[in-house]
Structure 1
Amino acid sequence: MMNMKGHTAMVPCRTCRIIGCLCPTNSHYYYPITAPDGWDGNPHLRQARPAGIHYDVTSLPYRDNVSHGEHIELIKSATNATAVMQSFGINGDCILRNLSSLKFPWSFPFGMAHLICLNVVPRLVEHAIGEFQTVSNVGQPYAVPKAVWKHLCAQLEASTATVPASYGRHFRDISQHKGYMVAEDWLNFTLFAALPMFATIYTSKETRPCLDLWALLVEVVEDGIQYSIKRDSITLMEEKIQKFVSEYERFVSTLLILFT
């Protein structure tokens, strides 16, 4: 609706201007807070940032209504509009800007169903079980053996017979039916199954941080689906999300050497 470049773009986010790092092996952009060792500086737009190639997760370069309008005007007046669009992550103007009641980007909040349930959680699961193609988990402490995962997923599906219908959709065997799962399936998995399942896998001191990260994510989701949220709770959720991103990136070392 905002006419933004969106995910997979060099500048994908509609609320901030984080610039990705181009992975030379598959030509996809990734968006680490800390640029990985051996990064080749592509794109040069991130290399040329006055604040440096790394970001502070507590102080991202957020967009606002004024700057968004300024970026639109720069695109309109640019001799190479395509390059400017790419650098701002904007495809062009949006007719909704004519409504003074709307403020870009804050009038267009993210939907948890898509952002968390259909993107973050499935990708985390894929990474853990070795199905995230661009990032191998071989030899990593968070790697979950396929046989163990299949066994746990079969138990999860079988447990549906003992779970009250008030808990929502029945549990699916994720190892067999992941492609058929919708947002509510992933939400139920996150709220009721993720911690018990991963608690049986991550039992050592070495893997404890993995379980802590899942616990942190579950807390954020639980807080985010409340019917009413106090302002203090929103601040706490922000802090938890910032901690999750920082700790996940620090712990999952494969992500940090992805581009070497």
Structure 2
Amino acid sequence: MIKNLDSYLIPLYEELVDLAKGNTTLDPWAEEFFWLHVYLILAFGDYPALTKLMHMKGHNSLCPCRFCEIHGVRAPGVKVYYVPLFRPNGSVSPTDLPMRNHTTFIKQANQVLAATTINEANKLAKEHGIKGISVLSGLGSLNFPLSFPFDFMHLIFKNLIPNLVRHYTSTFKDLDCGTEEYLIPQEEWLEICAAGESSGDTIPTAFGARIPNLETDHSSMTAEKWALWATWLAPILLRDRFPDRKYYDHFMKLVRLINKCVSWVLKQSELEEIRVGFQEWVEEYEE
């Protein structure tokens, strides 16, 4: 594991600084030179990678989100923080999150670096979710955190969908269903897994990789396979499987939102529909 990522990024930073100033470049079609300026404006990666890149504490910390300053909570005796919208000491609206901006992000990072003791630095890092400042913050073209967006693959197909399946099968962080009734009976879940596996016999590979048996071969599920399972198979396989129909309807709302997000064409009006749709879906999830 890389403990000091900046040591590898310094050569990249120096080159990007030089490219931003501009270099003479030949246009072979016009047969003349012009000034070429290159600016880094976006960086992508999974959550652990961008956590290191941005010098943040990570997804299990008190303040885990790089876009907002919402704090996690945890039950007595539990080490992992959970970040619900609804909480006893004051709920948070998904339409009014305490968003970060570049100025406050850099200010908080510098506060950690300026701490006079290790304990003070650790306290500030815990409070802000930021451990320090990236060497890439010296690039004027980057905005912390807007230049480091979440990628759909990891956010939805490698995180949300697998976690929903764990919820439905009572294997999510040792949590039970409480007063709800969303658990799929074990015998029916085994039928769903077998049907999903056998569906590969009649689905052309052009639709995606073959789905394994989720019960016996869960580890081989890639993002591509989760996408195929969630958007093509699950709407059929999960129908009439929940004790209460509302959980299936809730899942189908997510499928419709996913399909809109991955469609080839999006109307401007649909962007607001997607934004509001995910906000409502999360609120319904926490009810």
Q: Using structure 2 for the length normalisation, give the TM-score.
A: 0.76
The structure 2 residue matched to 1:30, chosen from 77, 82, 91, is: 82
The structure 1 residue matched to 2:196, chosen from 156, 181, 184, is: 156
**Paired letter, 1:8:** N
For residues 77 and 271 of structure 2, the distance between their equivalents in structure 1, rounded to whole angstroms, comes to 38
Following superposition, the deviation at residue 239 of structure 1 comes to 0.7
| Residue-pair matches, total | 232
Unmatched 5+ stretches in structure 2: 1-52
Residue of structure 2 in register with 1:19 after alignment: 71
Q: Is the radius of gyration larger for structure 1 or structure 2?
A: 2
**2:245 is aligned with 1:208:** yes
Could you give the per-residue CA deviations for residues 124-160 of structure 1, whole angstroms, max 9, x where no partner exists? 1011111113311376311111111011110111111
Could you give the per-residue CA deviations for residues 169-203 of structure 1, whole angstroms, max 9, x where no partner exists? 1121111111221111111111111221221313x
Residue of structure 1 in register with 2:185 after alignment: 145
Residue of structure 2 in register with 1:8 after alignment: 60
For residues 67 and 272 of structure 2, the distance between their equivalents in structure 1, rounded to whole angstroms, comes to 17
User: 1:17-166 to 2 correspondence within 5 Å?
Assistant: 17-36=69-88, 53-79=90-116, 80-137=120-177, 140-166=180-206
For residues 65 and 133 of structure 1, the distance between their equivalents in structure 2, rounded to whole angstroms, comes to 34
Alignment identity in percent? Answer: 30
CA contact (8 A) 2:109 2:131 kept: no
Structure with higher RCO (Cα < 8 A, 6+ apart): 1
For residues 126 and 257 of structure 2, the distance between their equivalents in structure 1, rounded to whole angstroms, comes to 32
Following superposition, the deviation at residue 110 of structure 1 comes to 0.6
**Paired letter, 1:94:** S
**Paired letter, 1:243:** E
Residue of structure 1 in register with 2:235 after alignment: 195
CA 1:73 to 1:230, structure 2 compared with 1: closer, same or farther past 3 Å?
Answer: farther
**2:218 is aligned with 1:181:** no
Q: Using structure 1 for the length normalisation, give the TM-score.
A: 0.84
Following superposition, the deviation at residue 228 of structure 1 comes to 4.4
Following superposition, the deviation at residue 23 of structure 1 comes to 2.2
CA contact (8 A) 1:16 1:60 kept: yes
